[in-house]
Each structure stands twice: as structure tokens, then as C-alpha cells.
Chain A
Amino acid sequence: MLQSTEVIPSKPSRVVTPTVQVRALASTLPLDDIKPCIETRELTALFDNTAAVKNVTMTVPQRAVTAIIGPSGCGKSTLLRCFNRMHETVPGARVEGFVAVLGTSIYGDGTSPIAVRRHVGMVFQRPTPFPTMSIRNNVLAGLRVDSRLRESRENVDGIVEEALQRAGLWAEVKDRLNESAMALSGGQQQRLCIARALATRPRVILLDEPTASLDPLSTQKVEELVYELRNTVSVVIVTHNMQQAARVSDRTAFLLAGELVELTSTRELFTAPADERTEAYITGRFG
């Protein structure tokens, strides 16, 4: 169980009084020594000729949860979608700059966006199970488009179980794997989408406001899940909820009007932000 978060009313003082409490870091990994999972240099993402993300240079460590926070429209989702080349699927959208996942440039010549997306999982704001598929086939969907499933056909049941276990959904659905995914509740559907993303064993998983359409109880389950996942996979989570960032992440990036203001350990960002704008945002003075 995660600690509950107390909200302290903010005072407009120079002394920072964060509105969120930060949980103690349970991770034993020394964050600064970790080889980067995602690295960007001067990353700019444009819609037609308007830049939604401007000149972002950042590194995301492996086996940790990195949160991206910021006010609505600051470009956090756009930034996330540059990490698996989903940004360019929107007509008129393009990306400039450098992005590498685990040391490989994903925008390099000859790099196929399909291959990138098969190695970087993504979960969206609204649950998106495929309505024509059973729970089981939903989990396998990502593998079936890949040739990898054919090699390990005998172990399909094992893959399904492992993915659902990791998504914390196995106990709830193990007796109805062949039922339609649409019969699940919203929170279960979202965890099914996480299982579907995990089934291909990605090294990174991108969560785009994964709890925005869920009730508090389902939100808590997903948050606990994200907290667990950091032991096996790198997670980048976009959230408009600062408390959530404080609860689940090891590092937090604050984005404002497309620019990266600050990226540091979550504890530091919420207790001693280096930038005035970060402080103003986390104390609730705008956004």
C-alpha cells in the first residue's frame, strides 16, 4: 500500500511549502549512476509550424519512474509521444532533434517507427482494449503483429499469465480469459492495456495520464502497479496530478509552455525546486 497524501494549504511565501508530501525513496538504485533509458538532445516537436515541445534536452534513467508534470497544454503528452514516434502519426506533425532509447537513435535513417513502437510500450488516457478481441487476445495483440510469437507458440499461455500478473489483473480475469474485454470495468480495462503493453516485454513503458478517466480506487491500483513496475521496466508517466507524480515517481520533470524547466529527483523538485516557476507551480500559484 502507498502512503496517503496530506495536502497542506499553500502560503505565498518565499519559503517553499509544497502542497504534496513525498514518500521516502524505496529504491536502492543510485540514480545518478544509471545508464540512460531515454536521452533527448534539443528535441522540438511541431504541429505544422507551431512548436509544442521546444529544445528539450533530458535523460530518463532505467528501472525508475520518471514523471512529467506541467499545466494543461504545456506539451507533456506531445513530449511523451516523441519517445515512441507516435507524434508523427498526427497529420502535419514532425520532430526535430535527437532521441535515443537505450543508446539507439530512434529517429535515425532507416529506423522504422514500427520497430521502435514494438520496443516501447504505451498506455493512453482512456482505456483502449480492442472491442472485437477477448481478454486473452488483447494481451497477445502486440505479439501477434510481431513474428516473435510464432517462435514461442507453446508458451502463449505463460506469456498471457505473466503479463496479466505484472499488471495485477490475473486474479480477477483468470477464469474468463476468453470473454470480451469490453465486459471489464474501466479500471480493469486500463490494467489490461498495461498488460498488453507489457506482453511484448518492452524495456520502456510510456503512460499518458493513465488514471485520468478512472475512479479513485482504480487510480490507486494503477498507481501501486506503476510503483511495482519500476523494478522491472523503465516508466515515463505523464500526469496533471502533482500528488500522483510525488507518490509514484523517482524523478520528475516540470514542463512549461513546451520548455523543460526542471528535471530532478522527485523529492528535490517538490521540496527544494531550483526554478521559481517550478516553485510557483507546485505551490499552486498557477496552472
Chain B
Amino acid sequence: MRTARSRHIVSGGMIGLTYVAAALATLPLLLILLHLVRKGASSLSLDFFTRMPQPVGEMGGGMANAIVGTLVLIGIASLIGLPVGIGAGLYLAEKRSTKLAHIVRFLSDVLNGLPSIVVGIFAWEFLVKPVGHFSALAGGIALGTMMIPLVTRTTEEMLKVVPNSLREAALALGYQRWRTSLSIVLRTAMAGIATGALVAVARIAGETAPLLFTAFGNQFWSLSPGQPIAALPLQIFTYAVSPYDEWHRLAWAGALVLIAMVLVISILARVATRSRFGAPVD
């Protein structure tokens, strides 16, 4: 028999270990943020957001085109990823145990685990090679493909939380099945689905690999979906591997802006969840 005292000591030690683990889990993020702020903040100025990249040798310049390019790519990706993902999630939640649902769920998980570079090669093969040049559209589609499984699974999870009694109540009132799914079930889970969508956007915003041979990057201003487009992660990559100090400086600033964007989206997602998830706990 161990004494009460020794049990208290072991318990205290174990609790201490969990604190250490929790600290280690957050440490990388804190270190990265700290380092980025130290290296990048000094290069951040209004110019960075409003001006175009300058040729080698000239000081200053910004990443206006890359910031806007990233937003354009996120927009194209959302146009593809959100409708397909939400639709597939709705299917999985409403036809939970059909054979097709099991297959879709499994394939969606496989797609989720697919290395992003593979998605990029796929987009290149079918969207870049036949056309003969890189394009924002190809990059957006590659990112959208990566969004689909993320949105599908979060949508399904959110819809599963909607109590079945609500579906029954709607059916008993004479709602058709499709109408029950759309105007009762989906609407009840909307806040949660919006959160999932934002998390997926945050996740793809920083992707570089699928853009390397699709969106490609662009030193000039372009909003055309048919042309190569600049993107923050690509610009950071290009500048970081260059031999110029000025470009290194801008790469750090770009990394800081990118992580700030992701952080803001994540915070928005948290706020959206907290504000109103209407479904009662049943």
C-alpha cells in the first residue's frame, strides 16, 4: 500500500508533466510568431501593402499583387470547395449509412491525406499542360480540391449534431425531404458550417506546393483567372531562396502578413461558432 502522501506526490508530478506537454505544444507557434515579428515587422510599412515588387537592386517595394493574388486564389478555391464540400457533407449526413456514403466518406479521407504536391501535379497535368500556360484558375482549382474534403467532413459533423427530432418535426409538417435538409437541417447547422469553411480557407491560404506549377507566381499586377497570378506563399518562396538581402527582408514581412491573415481567419471562425450555434442539445 502506498501512502496518501506518495500518491499526492505522484499525482502532482503527473499534473506537472501535462503542463510541460501543454507548454511544448504551444511553444512552436509562439517561437515562430516571435521570430517573424522580430524579422518581419521592421520591413512592414504601408508600401508593403500598396506597392509592387521592385527589380533586383532597387530598395523598397511591396507585395500588393501577391496579397491580392492570394485573395483571388482563395476566392476561386472557395467557389469550388464550398458548394461541393457542403453538398457532399449534406449527402453524407442525410444518407448516413448507405453504401455510397461509406465509399464517399472513405475517399474524402484519402483525398484529405493526399500530399498537396500531388494535387498540384494533377492540376498541372489537366489544367496547365493542355492550355500551354500557368493560370490563376488552375491554382484556384488545385486549392479548391484540397478544400473539398475538409469542408465535407466538418459539414457532416455539424449536420450530425442537428437532432433527428427536428427532421421529424419538419417532415410531419409536410416538408419534402429536400426541403427539410435545406431549410431546416442545413440552416440550423449554418454557423458551424461557416466555421468549418473558414478553417478550411485558413488551411489552404498558406499552401505553396499546389501553386508552384499552377498559379506559378507573377511579378506584375494581374487579376485575370487565365493568367499566372502572384500569391504570398510563392512570393515568400521566391524571395527567400534569392541571394539578395532586400528580398530576404521582404520575405520575412510576407511571412508575417500571411500568418496574420491565417490568424485573423481562425479568430473569425471562433467568433462565428460562439455567436450562435442554434441547435439544442438533444
Contact = CB atoms under 8 A, between A and B. Distances in A.
Interface stretch (A140-148, A216-224, A235-243, A250-258): A140-148
B174 A200 contact: yes
Contact of B169 (A124, A145, A180): A124
Given A132-B278, A142-B174, 13 more contacts: A84-B172, A114-B175, A117-B174, A118-B173, A121-B173, A124-B168, A126-B282, A128-B166, A130-B169, A131-B166, A132-B184, A132-B187, A141-B173
B28 interface: no
Given A86-B168, A89-B168, A124-B169, A131 B279 contact: yes
A128 B188 contact: no
B176 interface: yes
Contact of A117 (B97, B173, B282): B173
**Most chain A beta-carbon contacts within 10 A, residue among B179, B280, B282:** B280
B188 A130 contact: yes
B267 interface: no
Given A130-B166, A132-B188, A132-B190, A122 B172 contact: yes
B118 interface: no
B3 interface: no
A118 to B, nearest CB: 4
B18 interface: no
Nearest to A89: B171
A163 interface: no
Contacts of B97: 91
Interface of B: 97, 163, 165-166, 168-176, 179, 184, 187-188, 190, 278-280, 282
A115 B278 contact: no
Contacts of A141: 170, 173
Contacts of A84: 172
A196 B188 contact: no
A115 B169 CA distance: 15
B172 A145 contact: no
Contacts of B282: 126
14 contacts: A84-B172, A89-B171, A122-B172, A128-B166, A130-B166, A130-B188, A131-B166, A132-B188, A132-B278, A142-B173, A145-B174, A182-B278, A182-B280, A193-B169
Contacts of A131: 166, 188, 278-280
Interface in A32-55: none
A68 B172 CA distance: 19
A132 B168 CA distance: 16
Contacts of A117: 171-174
Contacts of B163: 128
Contact of A118 (B165, B174, B179, B187): B174
A226 interface: no
B173 A196 contact: yes
A131 B163 CA distance: 11
B173 A145 contact: yes
A197 B100 CA distance: 36
Contacts of B188: 130-132
A117 B175 CA distance: 9
B33 to A, nearest CB: 37
A89 B180 CA distance: 13
B165 A124 contact: yes
Contacts of A128: 163, 165-166, 168-169
Nearest to A115: B174
Interface string A100-129: 000000000000001101100110101010
Give the residue among A91, A114, A132 with the most B Cβ atoms within 10 A. A132
A118 B174 CA distance: 5
A196 B173 CA distance: 8
Contact of B184 (A114, A124, A130, A182): A130
A126 B165 contact: yes
Contacts of B165: 124, 126, 128
A86 B180 CA distance: 14
A84 B173 CA distance: 10
A122 B175 CA distance: 13
A230 B171 CA distance: 24
Interface string A74-103: 000000000010100101000000000000
Nearest to B166: A128
From B97, B172, B190, B282, residue with most partner A Cβ within 10 Å: B172
A33 B114 CA distance: 72
Interface string A162-197: 000000000000000000101000000000010011
A240 to B, nearest CB: 18
